[in-house]
Amino acid sequence: MESLLRDRKKNLKPTNTILTNNLGEKYEINNEGFCKKINDKCLPFVVDNKPDLEVVKIIDGVYLSSQDPIYCYDILKEHKIQHILSLGIEPDIKFSGISYYFIEILDLPEFNLTSYFDKCFNIIDNCKDDNILVHCNAGVSRSPTIIIAYLIKYVNMNFNEAFDTVKKARPCVRPNDGFIKQLKIAHEVAS
C-alpha cells in the first residue's frame, strides 16, 4: 500500500500555494515547504463587488442586513426603517428622517463583543417600535451576533433558538468562532 502511495505521489504535479496574512502580505509556499514573501500587497479581506440588498425581519421592529441597503432610501422606506445601528461600519451617507447609531466593533474572534451588548441592546430596545435595521459590513458575523444576544436576553430564547431564528431569516449568517463562544457564555450567565 505504501509503495502505491509513493508511486502516485511521484506523478503529482508540483504546485505552489499563495498565502495572505491579516496584514495583506502575500507569501508563496512550495512543495518542500519553502516560503518566500511576494512583493505585491493586497487587501487583508475579500473585496465584495456584488451588492447584497437583502433586508430581513428577525422579529417585529428588528431587521438585519449587510451595509449595502443603508445606502438605498427606497429599500429603507419599503421596510419603514427609522433607525439604523451600524456596527463597525459608519455610513458616510445619511438620510433625513432616519436616526443613526454607530458602535466601533471589530470582527475578530478575540474582540470582546460582550462589553458592547448592553449599549446595543438599549439602542435596539428603544428603537424597535419604529423599526431598526442592525448591520455590519456583510451582515454575517457582528450584526447577527448582536441580534442573537438580544433575542437571548429580551425574547428569552435559548442560544439554539436565537441562532436558528436569525439563520432561518438570513441563511448566510456565520458569526466568528470567538463570537459564538461569547454568546454561549452569555447565555449560560443569563440562565
The H-or-E segment that residue 38 falls in is: strand 35-38
Helix axes 177-190, 142-154, angle to 10 degrees: 10
d(CA 163, CA 123): 20
Q: Kindly report the CA angle at 112 between 111 and 118, in degrees rounded to 5?
A: 135
10 Å Cβ neighbour count for 158?
A: 13
Task: Kindly list the catalytic residues.
Answer: 136
Residue 173 in contact with residue 167, Cβ under 8 Å? yes
Contacts of 161 (CB under 8 A, 6+ apart): 151
Contacts of 179 (CB under 8 A, 6+ apart): 109, 113, 141, 142, 145
Residue 139 in contact with residue 172, Cβ under 8 Å? yes
Q: Kindly report the CA angle at 147 between 92 and 185, in degrees rounded to 5?
A: 125
